[in-house]
Amino acid sequence: AQSVTQPDIHITVSEGASLELRCNYSYGATPYLFWYVQSPGQGLQLLLKYFSGDTLVQGIKGFEAEFKRSQSSFNLRKPSVHWSDAAEYFCAASGGSNYKLTFGKGTLLTVNP
Amino acid sequence: ETGVTQTPRHLVMGMTNKKSLKCEQHLGHNAMYWYKQSAKKPLELMFVYNFKEQTENNSVPSRFSPECPNSSHLFLHLHTLQPEDSALYLCASSQEGGTKNIQYFGAGTRLSVL
Measured distance CA(A59)–CA(A57) in Å, rounded: 7
Q: Is the pLDDT of residue B8 over 80?
A: yes
Q: Is the peptide bond before B8 cis (omega within 30 degrees of 0)?
A: yes
pLDDT in tens, A59-81: 999 999 999 999 999 999 999 99
State whether A99 and B105 contact (CB < 8 Å).
no
Can you list the positions of beta strands (E) in A23-78?
A: 24-26, 32-38, 44-50, 56-58, 64-68, 73-78
For residue A5, pLDDT over 90 is answered with yes
Of A32, A43, A105, the CB nearest to B42: A105
Which pLDDT score is estimated for B42?
83
- Report whether pLDDT(B64) > 70: yes
Burial bucket for residue A106 (CB in 10 Å: 0-12, 13-18, 19+) = buried
Q: Average pLDDT of chain B?
A: 91
Q: How, if at all, do strands A10-14 and A107-112 pair?
A: parallel
Asked whether the predicted pLDDT for residue B96 surpasses 80, the reply is no
Angstroms from A16 CA to nearest CA on chain B: 27
Percent of chain B with pLDDT over 90: 73
In the prediction, which pLDDT does B56 show? 83
Size of interface A-B (CB pairs under 8 A): 52
Q: Which of B21-25, B31-35, B97-101, B104-108 is least confident?
A: B97-101
Terminus-to-terminus CA distance in chain A, angstroms? 41
DSSP 8-state assignment for residue B72: T
CB B35 within 8 A of CB B42: no
Q: Cα A33 to chain center, whole Å? A: 8
Percent of chain A with pLDDT over 70: 96
